[in-house]
Amino acid sequence: MRLVLIAAAGLAAIAQPLPLSLHQAVEIALAPDGNTRLRLAREAAELAKARQAQARASLLPNVDASMTGLNFTRNLRAFGISFPPVPGFQPADIVGPITNFDARVTAGVTVFDFSAWKRVDTARTLTAAAQAEAEAARNAASEQVARAYVAALRAGAALDAAKANIVMAESLLRLTTRQKDAGTGTGIEVVRSEVQLANERQRLLLLENDARKTTLGLARLLNLELDKEIVLTDSLVMPETDPPGLAEALLAARSTRKDLSAQALREQAARRSYEAVKWERLPSVQAFADYGTIGLDVESARATRTFGATLRIPIFDGGRRDARRAEAGVLLRQDQIRTEDLKKQIELDVRLAHDAMSASSKQVAVADEGVALAARELEQARRRYENGVTASLEVVDAQTRLERARDNHVLALYQYNQARIELASAMGSIHRILQ
Protein backbone atom coordinates (compact mmCIF):
# COMPACT_ATOMS: atom_id res chain seq x y z
CA MET A 1 0.00 0.00 0.00
CA ARG A 2 2.86 2.30 0.86
CA LEU A 3 4.47 1.70 -2.55
CA VAL A 4 1.19 2.56 -4.25
CA LEU A 5 0.98 5.86 -2.34
CA ILE A 6 4.59 6.72 -3.20
CA ALA A 7 3.96 5.96 -6.88
CA ALA A 8 0.79 8.05 -6.83
CA ALA A 9 2.67 10.93 -5.24
CA GLY A 10 5.37 10.67 -7.92
CA LEU A 11 2.80 10.72 -10.71
CA ALA A 12 1.10 13.71 -9.13
CA ALA A 13 4.44 15.54 -8.96
CA ILE A 14 5.06 14.80 -12.63
CA ALA A 15 1.55 15.90 -13.63
CA GLN A 16 1.79 19.19 -11.73
CA PRO A 17 2.70 22.04 -14.12
CA LEU A 18 5.96 23.90 -13.57
CA PRO A 19 5.57 27.71 -13.60
CA LEU A 20 8.64 29.12 -15.29
CA SER A 21 9.84 32.66 -15.84
CA LEU A 22 12.78 33.63 -18.02
CA HIS A 23 14.90 34.36 -14.95
CA GLN A 24 14.06 30.97 -13.44
CA ALA A 25 14.80 29.19 -16.72
CA VAL A 26 18.28 30.69 -16.88
CA GLU A 27 18.92 29.82 -13.22
CA ILE A 28 17.99 26.20 -13.95
CA ALA A 29 20.29 26.13 -16.99
CA LEU A 30 23.19 27.54 -14.95
CA ALA A 31 22.72 25.02 -12.13
CA PRO A 32 25.41 22.31 -11.72
CA ASP A 33 23.15 19.72 -13.36
CA GLY A 34 21.65 22.12 -15.89
CA ASN A 35 22.72 22.89 -19.45
CA THR A 36 25.01 20.24 -20.98
CA ARG A 37 27.23 22.75 -22.78
CA LEU A 38 27.88 24.58 -19.51
CA ARG A 39 28.67 21.36 -17.67
CA LEU A 40 31.26 20.45 -20.31
CA ALA A 41 32.82 23.91 -20.01
CA ARG A 42 33.18 23.44 -16.25
CA GLU A 43 34.88 20.11 -16.81
CA ALA A 44 37.26 21.75 -19.31
CA ALA A 45 38.22 24.30 -16.64
CA GLU A 46 38.93 21.50 -14.17
CA LEU A 47 41.04 19.74 -16.81
CA ALA A 48 43.10 22.91 -17.30
CA LYS A 49 43.70 23.11 -13.55
CA ALA A 50 44.91 19.51 -13.51
CA ARG A 51 47.33 20.22 -16.37
CA GLN A 52 48.61 23.29 -14.55
CA ALA A 53 49.34 21.12 -11.51
CA GLN A 54 51.22 18.66 -13.73
CA ALA A 55 53.37 21.45 -15.19
CA ARG A 56 54.08 22.90 -11.75
CA ALA A 57 55.18 19.46 -10.49
CA SER A 58 58.31 19.63 -12.68
CA LEU A 59 59.64 22.44 -10.44
CA LEU A 60 58.76 20.84 -7.12
CA PRO A 61 60.90 18.30 -5.23
CA ASN A 62 60.42 14.62 -5.98
CA VAL A 63 60.88 12.30 -3.00
CA ASP A 64 60.83 8.50 -3.19
CA ALA A 65 61.43 5.77 -0.63
CA SER A 66 62.56 2.25 -1.44
CA MET A 67 63.45 -0.91 0.40
CA THR A 68 65.38 -3.68 -1.33
CA GLY A 69 66.33 -7.16 -0.20
CA LEU A 70 68.72 -9.23 -2.35
CA ASN A 71 70.25 -12.66 -2.27
CA PHE A 72 72.70 -13.12 -5.11
CA THR A 73 75.73 -14.91 -6.49
CA ARG A 74 78.30 -13.50 -8.91
CA ASN A 75 80.68 -14.99 -11.43
CA LEU A 76 83.93 -13.09 -10.86
CA ARG A 77 85.34 -14.07 -14.22
CA ALA A 78 82.37 -12.33 -15.90
CA PHE A 79 83.71 -9.09 -14.42
CA GLY A 80 87.30 -9.78 -15.46
CA ILE A 81 88.40 -10.80 -11.97
CA SER A 82 90.66 -13.82 -11.63
CA PHE A 83 93.18 -15.00 -9.06
CA PRO A 84 96.54 -16.69 -9.80
CA PRO A 85 96.62 -20.35 -8.95
CA VAL A 86 97.98 -21.22 -5.51
CA PRO A 87 99.47 -24.67 -4.89
CA GLY A 88 97.04 -26.68 -2.85
CA PHE A 89 94.27 -24.07 -3.17
CA GLN A 90 91.80 -23.46 -5.98
CA PRO A 91 90.21 -19.95 -5.82
CA ALA A 92 86.45 -19.95 -6.37
CA ASP A 93 85.05 -18.31 -9.47
CA ILE A 94 81.55 -17.98 -7.95
CA VAL A 95 81.00 -15.67 -4.98
CA GLY A 96 77.93 -16.05 -2.86
CA PRO A 97 75.23 -16.46 -2.01
CA ILE A 98 75.26 -13.00 -0.44
CA THR A 99 72.29 -11.37 1.30
CA ASN A 100 71.93 -7.60 0.96
CA PHE A 101 69.46 -5.17 2.55
CA ASP A 102 69.07 -1.54 1.43
CA ALA A 103 66.46 0.97 2.72
CA ARG A 104 66.80 4.43 1.15
CA VAL A 105 65.09 7.79 0.58
CA THR A 106 65.94 9.66 -2.61
CA ALA A 107 65.09 13.25 -3.54
CA GLY A 108 65.58 15.49 -6.54
CA VAL A 109 64.65 19.07 -7.35
CA THR A 110 65.09 21.44 -10.28
CA VAL A 111 67.22 24.34 -9.13
CA PHE A 112 67.15 26.31 -12.37
CA ASP A 113 65.23 25.65 -15.58
CA PHE A 114 63.89 28.81 -17.19
CA SER A 115 61.96 26.95 -19.89
CA ALA A 116 60.15 24.93 -17.20
CA TRP A 117 59.08 28.16 -15.50
CA LYS A 118 57.74 29.40 -18.82
CA ARG A 119 55.77 26.17 -19.28
CA VAL A 120 54.24 26.65 -15.84
CA ASP A 121 53.25 30.21 -16.83
CA THR A 122 51.74 28.80 -20.02
CA ALA A 123 49.68 26.27 -18.07
CA ARG A 124 48.55 28.98 -15.65
CA THR A 125 47.45 31.19 -18.54
CA LEU A 126 45.57 28.30 -20.15
CA THR A 127 43.76 27.71 -16.84
CA ALA A 128 42.66 31.34 -16.81
CA ALA A 129 41.56 30.98 -20.44
CA ALA A 130 39.52 27.87 -19.58
CA GLN A 131 37.85 29.73 -16.73
CA ALA A 132 37.04 32.62 -19.06
CA GLU A 133 35.65 30.12 -21.57
CA ALA A 134 33.49 28.63 -18.82
CA GLU A 135 32.12 32.12 -18.12
CA ALA A 136 31.58 32.62 -21.85
CA ALA A 137 29.71 29.31 -21.87
CA ARG A 138 27.48 30.68 -19.10
CA ASN A 139 26.66 33.68 -21.26
CA ALA A 140 26.10 31.44 -24.31
CA ALA A 141 23.85 29.11 -22.32
CA SER A 142 21.89 32.08 -20.99
CA GLU A 143 21.47 33.41 -24.52
CA GLN A 144 20.39 30.02 -25.84
CA VAL A 145 17.80 29.61 -23.08
CA ALA A 146 16.56 33.18 -23.53
CA ARG A 147 16.10 32.62 -27.26
CA ALA A 148 14.24 29.37 -26.66
CA TYR A 149 12.06 31.00 -24.01
CA VAL A 150 11.15 33.92 -26.29
CA ALA A 151 10.41 31.47 -29.11
CA ALA A 152 8.07 29.61 -26.77
CA LEU A 153 6.45 32.92 -25.83
CA ARG A 154 5.93 33.69 -29.51
CA ALA A 155 4.34 30.30 -30.07
CA GLY A 156 2.04 30.91 -27.09
CA ALA A 157 1.12 34.39 -28.29
CA ALA A 158 0.38 33.06 -31.78
CA LEU A 159 -1.77 30.36 -30.20
CA ASP A 160 -3.71 32.95 -28.20
CA ALA A 161 -4.21 35.00 -31.36
CA ALA A 162 -5.50 31.91 -33.16
CA LYS A 163 -8.00 31.28 -30.36
CA ALA A 164 -9.16 34.88 -30.61
CA ASN A 165 -9.55 34.42 -34.37
CA ILE A 166 -11.74 31.37 -33.75
CA VAL A 167 -13.93 33.38 -31.41
CA MET A 168 -14.17 36.04 -34.09
CA ALA A 169 -15.01 33.47 -36.79
CA GLU A 170 -17.69 31.88 -34.57
CA SER A 171 -19.18 35.32 -33.98
CA LEU A 172 -19.33 35.93 -37.72
CA LEU A 173 -20.97 32.54 -38.26
CA ARG A 174 -23.67 33.39 -35.74
CA LEU A 175 -24.16 36.77 -37.37
CA THR A 176 -24.52 35.38 -40.89
CA THR A 177 -26.91 32.70 -39.62
CA ARG A 178 -29.12 35.34 -37.99
CA GLN A 179 -29.04 37.45 -41.11
CA LYS A 180 -30.07 34.47 -43.22
CA ASP A 181 -32.87 33.56 -40.84
CA ALA A 182 -34.05 37.17 -40.93
CA GLY A 183 -34.11 37.06 -44.73
CA THR A 184 -31.40 39.68 -45.19
CA GLY A 185 -28.57 37.20 -45.76
CA THR A 186 -27.83 34.31 -48.09
CA GLY A 187 -26.75 30.72 -47.69
CA ILE A 188 -23.41 31.35 -49.41
CA GLU A 189 -22.55 33.82 -46.67
CA VAL A 190 -23.19 31.16 -44.02
CA VAL A 191 -21.05 28.65 -45.93
CA ARG A 192 -18.30 31.25 -46.32
CA SER A 193 -18.33 31.81 -42.56
CA GLU A 194 -18.18 28.07 -41.91
CA VAL A 195 -15.18 27.75 -44.25
CA GLN A 196 -13.48 30.61 -42.43
CA LEU A 197 -14.11 28.91 -39.07
CA ALA A 198 -12.77 25.58 -40.36
CA ASN A 199 -9.60 27.29 -41.59
CA GLU A 200 -9.08 28.92 -38.21
CA ARG A 201 -9.50 25.61 -36.40
CA GLN A 202 -6.99 23.97 -38.73
CA ARG A 203 -4.51 26.75 -38.05
CA LEU A 204 -5.08 26.38 -34.32
CA LEU A 205 -4.07 22.71 -34.49
CA LEU A 206 -0.82 23.59 -36.26
CA LEU A 207 -0.01 26.32 -33.76
CA GLU A 208 -0.72 24.00 -30.83
CA ASN A 209 1.84 21.59 -32.24
CA ASP A 210 4.36 24.41 -32.72
CA ALA A 211 3.84 25.57 -29.14
CA ARG A 212 4.44 22.04 -27.88
CA LYS A 213 7.63 21.73 -29.93
CA THR A 214 9.07 24.98 -28.60
CA THR A 215 8.23 24.00 -25.01
CA LEU A 216 9.90 20.62 -25.44
CA GLY A 217 12.97 22.31 -26.90
CA LEU A 218 13.14 24.61 -23.89
CA ALA A 219 12.82 21.67 -21.49
CA ARG A 220 15.65 19.88 -23.30
CA LEU A 221 17.91 22.91 -22.96
CA LEU A 222 17.17 23.02 -19.22
CA ASN A 223 17.84 19.28 -18.87
CA LEU A 224 14.31 18.77 -17.52
CA GLU A 225 12.14 15.70 -17.90
CA LEU A 226 10.33 16.00 -21.22
CA ASP A 227 7.04 14.80 -19.74
CA LYS A 228 7.05 17.77 -17.36
CA GLU A 229 4.43 20.38 -18.29
CA ILE A 230 5.85 23.90 -18.37
CA VAL A 231 3.76 27.04 -17.90
CA LEU A 232 5.50 30.24 -19.04
CA THR A 233 4.81 33.09 -16.65
CA ASP A 234 6.34 35.93 -18.72
CA SER A 235 4.63 37.66 -21.63
CA LEU A 236 5.78 38.65 -25.09
CA VAL A 237 5.94 42.41 -24.56
CA MET A 238 8.22 45.31 -25.43
CA PRO A 239 10.22 46.38 -22.35
CA GLU A 240 10.18 50.04 -21.41
CA THR A 241 13.97 50.27 -20.96
CA ASP A 242 15.85 52.25 -23.57
CA PRO A 243 18.49 50.34 -25.58
CA PRO A 244 22.13 51.49 -25.28
CA GLY A 245 23.72 53.56 -28.00
CA LEU A 246 26.00 51.99 -30.59
CA ALA A 247 29.19 53.51 -29.15
CA GLU A 248 28.29 52.37 -25.65
CA ALA A 249 27.47 48.87 -26.89
CA LEU A 250 30.77 48.56 -28.76
CA LEU A 251 32.76 49.73 -25.74
CA ALA A 252 30.95 47.29 -23.46
CA ALA A 253 31.50 44.41 -25.87
CA ARG A 254 35.25 44.99 -26.04
CA SER A 255 35.57 45.07 -22.25
CA THR A 256 33.09 42.41 -21.10
CA ARG A 257 32.99 39.68 -23.76
CA LYS A 258 34.40 36.60 -22.02
CA ASP A 259 35.10 34.78 -25.26
CA LEU A 260 37.36 37.66 -26.31
CA SER A 261 39.13 37.49 -22.93
CA ALA A 262 39.56 33.74 -23.35
CA GLN A 263 41.00 34.16 -26.85
CA ALA A 264 43.41 36.85 -25.64
CA LEU A 265 44.58 34.50 -22.89
CA ARG A 266 45.03 31.68 -25.39
CA GLU A 267 47.20 33.99 -27.52
CA GLN A 268 49.21 34.89 -24.43
CA ALA A 269 49.65 31.20 -23.60
CA ALA A 270 50.83 30.51 -27.15
CA ARG A 271 53.41 33.29 -26.82
CA ARG A 272 54.69 31.89 -23.53
CA SER A 273 54.86 28.41 -25.02
CA TYR A 274 56.96 29.83 -27.86
CA GLU A 275 59.26 31.50 -25.31
CA ALA A 276 59.51 28.27 -23.30
CA VAL A 277 60.89 26.44 -26.34
CA LYS A 278 63.28 29.31 -27.02
CA TRP A 279 64.68 29.25 -23.49
CA GLU A 280 65.36 25.51 -23.66
CA ARG A 281 68.80 26.49 -24.98
CA LEU A 282 69.76 27.76 -21.52
CA PRO A 283 71.58 25.44 -19.11
CA SER A 284 69.55 23.83 -16.34
CA VAL A 285 70.57 22.65 -12.88
CA GLN A 286 69.10 19.74 -10.94
CA ALA A 287 70.07 18.73 -7.40
CA PHE A 288 69.77 15.19 -6.07
CA ALA A 289 70.36 13.37 -2.80
CA ASP A 290 69.71 10.04 -1.14
CA TYR A 291 70.05 8.71 2.37
CA GLY A 292 69.53 5.23 3.69
CA THR A 293 71.00 2.14 5.32
CA ILE A 294 72.68 -0.79 3.64
CA GLY A 295 74.15 -4.04 4.90
CA LEU A 296 74.01 -7.81 4.83
CA ASP A 297 70.86 -7.69 6.97
CA VAL A 298 68.78 -5.25 8.97
CA GLU A 299 70.90 -5.53 12.11
CA SER A 300 74.21 -4.93 10.34
CA ALA A 301 72.97 -2.14 8.05
CA ARG A 302 74.87 1.18 8.21
CA ALA A 303 73.82 4.64 7.12
CA THR A 304 75.10 5.97 3.78
CA ARG A 305 74.25 9.02 1.76
CA THR A 306 74.83 10.66 -1.61
CA PHE A 307 74.19 14.20 -2.76
CA GLY A 308 75.18 16.30 -5.71
CA ALA A 309 74.04 18.45 -8.60
CA THR A 310 73.85 18.10 -12.36
CA LEU A 311 74.46 20.90 -14.84
CA ARG A 312 72.81 20.19 -18.17
CA ILE A 313 74.00 22.20 -21.18
CA PRO A 314 72.01 21.65 -24.41
CA ILE A 315 74.30 21.44 -27.41
CA PHE A 316 72.59 19.59 -30.27
CA ASP A 317 69.37 17.59 -30.37
CA GLY A 318 69.07 16.81 -34.05
CA GLY A 319 66.97 19.91 -34.80
CA ARG A 320 63.99 18.87 -32.68
CA ARG A 321 64.16 22.05 -30.60
CA ASP A 322 64.13 24.29 -33.67
CA ALA A 323 61.21 22.31 -35.10
CA ARG A 324 59.23 22.73 -31.86
CA ARG A 325 60.00 26.44 -31.87
CA ALA A 326 58.76 26.74 -35.46
CA GLU A 327 55.60 24.86 -34.51
CA ALA A 328 55.04 27.11 -31.49
CA GLY A 329 55.50 30.15 -33.74
CA VAL A 330 52.84 28.90 -36.14
CA LEU A 331 50.42 28.28 -33.26
CA LEU A 332 51.08 31.78 -31.92
CA ARG A 333 50.37 33.39 -35.29
CA GLN A 334 47.18 31.35 -35.62
CA ASP A 335 45.94 32.61 -32.25
CA GLN A 336 46.82 36.18 -33.22
CA ILE A 337 44.71 35.79 -36.37
CA ARG A 338 41.84 34.33 -34.34
CA THR A 339 41.99 37.24 -31.88
CA GLU A 340 41.79 39.86 -34.62
CA ASP A 341 39.01 37.97 -36.39
CA LEU A 342 37.01 37.66 -33.16
CA LYS A 343 37.32 41.41 -32.51
CA LYS A 344 35.89 42.13 -35.97
CA GLN A 345 33.15 39.54 -35.50
CA ILE A 346 32.15 41.07 -32.17
CA GLU A 347 31.89 44.51 -33.75
CA LEU A 348 29.76 43.04 -36.55
CA ASP A 349 27.50 41.25 -34.04
CA VAL A 350 26.96 44.45 -32.06
CA ARG A 351 26.21 46.56 -35.13
CA LEU A 352 23.79 44.02 -36.62
CA ALA A 353 21.98 43.48 -33.31
CA HIS A 354 21.75 47.24 -32.67
CA ASP A 355 20.32 47.84 -36.14
CA ALA A 356 17.88 44.94 -35.74
CA MET A 357 16.71 46.29 -32.40
CA SER A 358 16.15 49.79 -33.80
CA ALA A 359 14.24 48.43 -36.80
CA SER A 360 12.13 46.01 -34.76
CA SER A 361 11.14 48.71 -32.26
CA LYS A 362 9.68 50.70 -35.17
CA GLN A 363 7.97 47.56 -36.44
CA VAL A 364 6.29 47.09 -33.06
CA ALA A 365 4.91 50.64 -33.19
CA VAL A 366 3.59 50.10 -36.74
CA ALA A 367 2.11 46.73 -35.76
CA ASP A 368 0.30 48.28 -32.78
CA GLU A 369 -1.24 50.85 -35.07
CA GLY A 370 -2.12 48.15 -37.60
CA VAL A 371 -3.99 46.08 -35.00
CA ALA A 372 -5.95 49.12 -33.84
CA LEU A 373 -6.87 50.11 -37.41
CA ALA A 374 -7.84 46.55 -38.39
CA ALA A 375 -10.03 46.19 -35.29
CA ARG A 376 -11.79 49.47 -36.14
CA GLU A 377 -12.29 48.34 -39.76
CA LEU A 378 -13.83 45.04 -38.59
CA GLU A 379 -16.17 46.84 -36.22
CA GLN A 380 -17.38 49.14 -38.99
CA ALA A 381 -17.75 46.25 -41.46
CA ARG A 382 -19.88 44.30 -38.96
CA ARG A 383 -22.17 47.31 -38.43
CA ARG A 384 -22.52 47.80 -42.16
CA TYR A 385 -23.36 44.11 -42.61
CA GLU A 386 -25.86 44.11 -39.73
CA ASN A 387 -27.58 47.12 -41.29
CA GLY A 388 -27.71 45.43 -44.69
CA VAL A 389 -25.44 47.94 -46.36
CA THR A 390 -22.86 45.37 -47.49
CA ALA A 391 -22.33 41.64 -47.81
CA SER A 392 -20.52 39.34 -45.37
CA LEU A 393 -17.53 39.19 -47.70
CA GLU A 394 -16.48 42.62 -46.48
CA VAL A 395 -16.55 41.34 -42.89
CA VAL A 396 -14.50 38.28 -43.84
CA ASP A 397 -11.94 40.50 -45.54
CA ALA A 398 -11.79 42.73 -42.46
CA GLN A 399 -11.31 39.67 -40.23
CA THR A 400 -8.49 38.45 -42.46
CA ARG A 401 -6.72 41.80 -42.21
CA LEU A 402 -7.13 41.79 -38.42
CA GLU A 403 -5.65 38.29 -38.26
CA ARG A 404 -2.72 39.42 -40.35
CA ALA A 405 -2.27 42.48 -38.15
CA ARG A 406 -2.24 40.28 -35.04
CA ASP A 407 0.34 37.98 -36.61
CA ASN A 408 2.46 41.00 -37.57
CA HIS A 409 2.22 42.27 -34.00
CA VAL A 410 3.34 38.95 -32.53
CA LEU A 411 6.18 38.71 -35.07
CA ALA A 412 7.34 42.28 -34.38
CA LEU A 413 7.41 41.67 -30.62
CA TYR A 414 9.28 38.43 -31.15
CA GLN A 415 11.86 40.05 -33.42
CA TYR A 416 12.35 42.91 -30.96
CA ASN A 417 12.95 40.56 -28.03
CA GLN A 418 15.28 38.39 -30.11
CA ALA A 419 17.23 41.48 -31.20
CA ARG A 420 17.39 42.59 -27.59
CA ILE A 421 18.85 39.21 -26.61
CA GLU A 422 21.32 39.35 -29.50
CA LEU A 423 22.51 42.83 -28.52
CA ALA A 424 22.91 41.88 -24.86
CA SER A 425 24.80 38.75 -25.88
CA ALA A 426 27.01 40.68 -28.30
CA MET A 427 27.81 43.12 -25.49
CA GLY A 428 28.61 40.26 -23.12
CA SER A 429 25.91 41.43 -20.68
CA ILE A 430 23.09 38.94 -21.20
CA HIS A 431 22.38 39.19 -17.45
CA ARG A 432 20.89 42.65 -17.99
CA ILE A 433 17.75 41.36 -19.67
CA LEU A 434 17.33 38.66 -17.02
CA GLN A 435 16.95 41.04 -14.08
The reply to whether 25 falls in a domain is: yes
Q: Would residue 87 count as lying in a domain?
A: no
Is residue 236 classed exposed, middle or buried when 0-12, 13-18 and 19+ CB atoms within 10 A define those classes?
buried
C-alpha span between 381 and 32 (Å, rounded): 58
Of the listed ranges 18-27, 180-189, 276-285, the least confidently predicted one is 180-189
pLDDT 10s digits, 97-113 = 888 888 999 998 888 88
CA 236, CA 411: separation in Å to the nearest integer?
10
Q: Does residue 82 form part of some domain?
A: no
Q: What is the pLDDT of residue 434?
A: 63
Q: Which pLDDT score is estimated for 4?
A: 40
Q: What percent of the chain has pLDDT over 90?
A: 26
Q: Residue 369 above 80 pLDDT?
A: yes
Give the pLDDT score at 21.
87
Task: Quote the domain boundaries for residue 126.
Answer: 17-67+112-284+320-434
The band of 2, judged by pLDDT with boundaries at 50, 70 and 90, is: very low
- pLDDT of residue 301 exceeding 80, the answer is yes
pLDDT beyond 90 at 393 = no
What was the pLDDT predicted at 236?
A: 86
Q: Which amino acid is at 333?
A: R
Mean pLDDT of 227-234: 87
pLDDT tens-digit profile of 25-45? 888 878 777 777 778 888 888
- Our measurement of the distance from residue 190's CA atom to the centroid of its chain's CA atoms, rounded to an integer in Å, reads 56
- Any domain includes 83: no
On the question of pLDDT at 14 being above 60, the answer is no
Residues 295-314, mean pLDDT to the nearest whole number = 87
CATH of the domain at 170: 1.20.1600.10
Higher pLDDT, 199 or 317: 199
- Look at residue 13 and tell me whether its pLDDT is greater than 70: no
Mean of pLDDT values over 420-433: 83
Integer Cα distance of 14 and 251 in angstroms:
46
Is 22 inside a domain boundary? Answer: yes
Q: Per the domain annotation, does 133 fall within a domain?
A: yes
Please, what sign has the CA dihedral across residues 314, 318, 319, 323?
negative
What's the total number of domains in the chain? 1
Q: Which of 6-15, 33-42, 90-99, 199-208 has the lowest mean pLDDT?
A: 6-15
> What would the pLDDT profile of 93-151 be if each residue is shown by its tens digit?
788 788 888 899 999 888 888 888 888 888 898 898 888 888 888 888 888 889 999 99
pLDDT at 173: 86
- Three-point CA angle 90, 94, 100, nearest 5°: 135
> Is 292 a member of any domain?
no
The residue type found at 49 is K
On whether residue 92 sits in a domain, the answer given is no
- Local confidence band at 214 (pLDDT 50, 70, 90 cut-offs): very high
Confirm if 156 and 314 have CB atoms less than 8 A apart.
no
> What local confidence, expressed as pLDDT, does residue 316 receive?
82
Which pLDDT belongs to residue 340? 94
Classify 231 as helix, strand or coil. Answer: strand
What's the predicted TM-score (pTM) here? Answer: 0.73
Where does the pLDDT of residue 433 fall: very low under 50, low under 70, confident under 90, or very high at 90 and above? low
134: helix, coil or strand?
helix
The model's pLDDT over 345-359, given as tens digits with 9 standing for 90+, comes to 999 999 999 999 899
245-282 in b/e form (b: 16+ CB < 10 A) is: eeeebbebbeeebbbbbbbbbbbbbbbbbbbbbbbbee
Express as a percent the part of the chain with pLDDT over 70: 95
What lies within 8 Å, CB to CB, of 263 at 6+ separation is 129, 335, 338, 339, 342
